Structure 1
């Protein structure tokens, strides 16, 4: 496939499903951005098949973008799920870089400028994460302990120390900065395992899968605390039931995400040693049959699929991920040690 080189600049991809109650401050934070004239940028709003007044609100505020000379393009994606909406926005993006903005994210006024500067300065960066501050609809007298414990799953807080955070294996999608052509290339010939498989559409962890694909292709994940967003948390999300359901959805994604972690383990320097790899094959086999822990059994099952290609553990998803891994056309051209 031939990809047209996009213009240097940055596209905001704003996806929303029934976001009428959250959207106004998000839009306001975008059209109030302070962006130097030397940086070209645009906004693509993707309506993910909303049934409320989301589209009406966006149309009503188009004039504010026009007054600020900010191109605003309104798109529609009928397939459910942020992955499909994001993919639609990226396919229409004009510029070389993009920022993911959810309908409950409020960008700091210098976000576009700093995002551009960070990613434009280093070709090895695959994606950049930001600092996220929770803004509660009604501030509780005491923040629940379960929220603090799970705040990363709410995309709230820090994502490490400034600089290279590739060892974290992921950064969250809210506020993520990345490369437009690269995103398209990573999914064009090798569709998502989360959203294009024979099991089910899981609807979460699209950001994690993207990050893991970047890492497998030798790109780095970075975090910069001077990129700041506020993440609105409505009352209905500050409940233990919501948190429990969120965790369950994320855990459901592990059946796919564990495939990426499994192959990442096999690619580590330790297992390039033939003796260590043979030892791993034997130990994984023993652990699979001896453990009673479901999570550990699942992880060992994944490794078995890679270590024993002709076994019953080699399913379609593993085969597809193996094909992705062996596609050297996707490897970061700035590194020498291709697979």
Structure 2
């Protein structure tokens, strides 16, 4: 049952679901299997835009295997990078709304119908978002991550703003694996090609900056409680090395966006100091202590790296 009370429109909504992928065919197959099972009704039609960003695995074979059972629009983006792929999807989308998800999620049965409820009930809203629950593949979530979940949950895109359809704004945004933007708004706010992951790189911020620009431009947002997904976490991402790489990317983003950060040599000293503490305490203290040093050192290494690449880095100006 919908959590929105506004009267429904008789006009059918068209939804473009978009997924950008690079060399994750095993997980993509699971995502598509689940999408094949979602609930649909006559209030909307939908298309599934799949953008292959130069995959060298069997991604194309996986996409082809679902072409007769899902409304797939298959594209290839030759410019490497998540943002370039997302902008390619925007160009191809024919829907009234673009719903973004990833190649490693399992959507709830009523995921798309819940978004449709929200779109119809509040047609003036510019962007929407739903919950993301991480699901760790066997052997499951390591004890040290469970013990430090408040520190590590951003690494695994955990997002839950509750069971009420609250307002979203610049300071309260959805995450990249589960959000939607009205298509006319999305075409005004493209993704910055200098941001977003490129191959295995960890600089993100692409969707965050788009959503912030929309909010600063006067666009309002809405949380959609029932539009839920699970985020599959492979075993090779439930590691200290992956947590480290994530926070290195955060440190790089701090410099790119002019956020408070240490200068180059101060970042180096801080990174080296906390790396030493992390290594010395790793097997002698509780996870909460050594994980804090791991995170601090990683952010500082990222800031140092970015300062080294861009010694005169200045804050970026929001663009339409």
Give TM-score, length-normalised by structure 2.
Answer: 0.71
- Structure 2 partner of 1:155: 157
Answer yes or no: is the 8 Å Cα contact 2:134–2:232 preserved in 1.
yes
Q: Does 1:13 align with 2:13?
A: no
1:226 CA drift (Å): 1.2
Q: Does 1:64 align with 2:103?
A: no
- Structure 1 partner of 2:33: 28
Q: SS of 1:252's equivalent?
A: helix
Pair 1:62–1:150, CA change in 2 (3 A): same
In 2: Cα distance, 1:49 partner to 1:30 partner: 23
- Structure 2 partner of 1:266: none
- Structure 2 partner of 1:178: 181
1:244 CA drift (Å): 1.1
Q: SS of 2:226's equivalent?
A: strand
Pair 1:153–1:223, CA change in 2 (3 A): farther
1:89 CA drift (Å): 0.9
1:111 CA drift (Å): 0.9
- Structure 1 partner of 2:6: none
Answer yes or no: is the 8 Å Cα contact 2:130–2:224 preserved in 1.
yes
How many corresponding residue pairs?
Answer: 257
Task: Note the aligned Cα RMSD (angstroms).
Answer: 3.0
- Structure 1 partner of 2:254: 254
Pair 1:314–1:238, CA change in 2 (3 A): closer
Q: Does 1:142 align with 2:123?
A: no
Deviations 1:7-32 (A, max 9, x none): 94111001111011211220012121
1:41 to 33, 41, 46: 46
- Structure 2 partner of 1:105: 105
Give TM-score, length-normalised by structure 1.
Answer: 0.68
Give 5+ residue unaligned stretches, structure 1.
Answer: 1-6, 66-70, 263-287, 296-312, 325-329, 331-339
- Structure 1 partner of 2:211: 211
Q: Does 1:231 align with 2:226?
A: no
Answer yes or no: is the 8 Å Cα contact 1:130–1:227 preserved in 2.
yes
Deviations 1:220-257 (A, max 9, x none): 23222211101000011100110111111122122344
Structure 1 residue runs of 4 or more that deviate by more than 6 Å after TM superposition: 292-295
Deviations 1:50-109 (A, max 9, x none): 1111111111222222xxxxx211000122221111111111011110111110011111
- Structure 2 partner of 1:116: 116
1:168 CA drift (Å): 2.5
Answer yes or no: is the 8 Å Cα contact 1:195–1:202 preserved in 2.
no
Answer yes or no: is the 8 Å Cα contact 2:203–2:252 preserved in 1.
no
- Structure 1 partner of 2:301: none
Deviates more, 1:155-164 or 1:8-17: 155-164
1:156 CA drift (Å): 1.3
Q: SS of 1:52's equivalent?
A: coil
Q: SS of 1:157's equivalent?
A: coil
Q: Does 1:125 align with 2:125?
A: yes
